[in-house]
Structure 1
């Protein structure tokens, strides 16, 4: 089973979904905003990928944080922020069984799906 987590109007999500569909791969799309995200799910993502890797520091939501908040982030605070503001999570997050991939790369997707 392939799961893709993200926000449906994200351009990178659109590219990744198109790639999966062109390769006729069935997947479940979970939209953080519409379907929600639990603290438990986020903890698994953090454990698998690292909270620093999950945090989308290039997005406007992160950049809108006060400098003091950005400079003093801990794992707990970052996970709370990501839970409250899912746009702060890098996307897409692709899961196939126990393997997780952040971002979209056709080459990486191809390798994952060949295994």
Structure 2
């Protein structure tokens, strides 16, 4: 099981604490494998991009119009987090419905 996120993200820290057996991957330092991003995009679509993030707000309109996977590849902190992967199963974020699966 892997948790993709940022080590400075409070939400990611909560997920890491709740799922200690998962391996944490910092998206800035370690990145997210392209095939994993593509699979996550198939599951979550445009929800994979965190449109309320500071990174998103700093992008101009032309950049925002680019494909989500391209943007996340260039700006890993733009990905909504955490992305939790366990085999073929994936969860995005740390909302109550996701927490219920782990707690």
Same fold (TM over 0.5): yes
Tell me the number of residue pairs that the alignment of Structure 1 and Structure 2 aligns.
Answer: 103
- 1 CA distance for matches of 2:29 and 2:61? 29
- Where structure 1 has 5 or more consecutive residues not aligned to the other structure, the ranges are none
Picking from 47, 56, 63, the partner of 1:53 is 47
Secondary structure in 1 matching 2:91: strand
Task: From the CA coordinates, give the structure whose radius of gyration is larger.
Answer: 1
Q: 1 or 2, which has the higher helix percentage?
A: 1
Contact 2:4 2:32 in 1 (8 A): no
Q: Measure how far apart 1:40 and its partner are.
A: 2.0
TM-align CA RMSD: 1.8
- Where structure 2 has 5 or more consecutive residues not aligned to the other structure, the ranges are none
Q: Measure how far apart 1:79 and its partner are.
A: 0.9
Secondary structure in 1 matching 2:7: coil
Secondary structure in 2 matching 1:34: coil
Tell me the TM-score normalised to structure 2 length.
0.86
Q: Measure how far apart 1:39 and its partner are.
A: 2.2
Contact 2:5 2:82 in 1 (8 A): yes
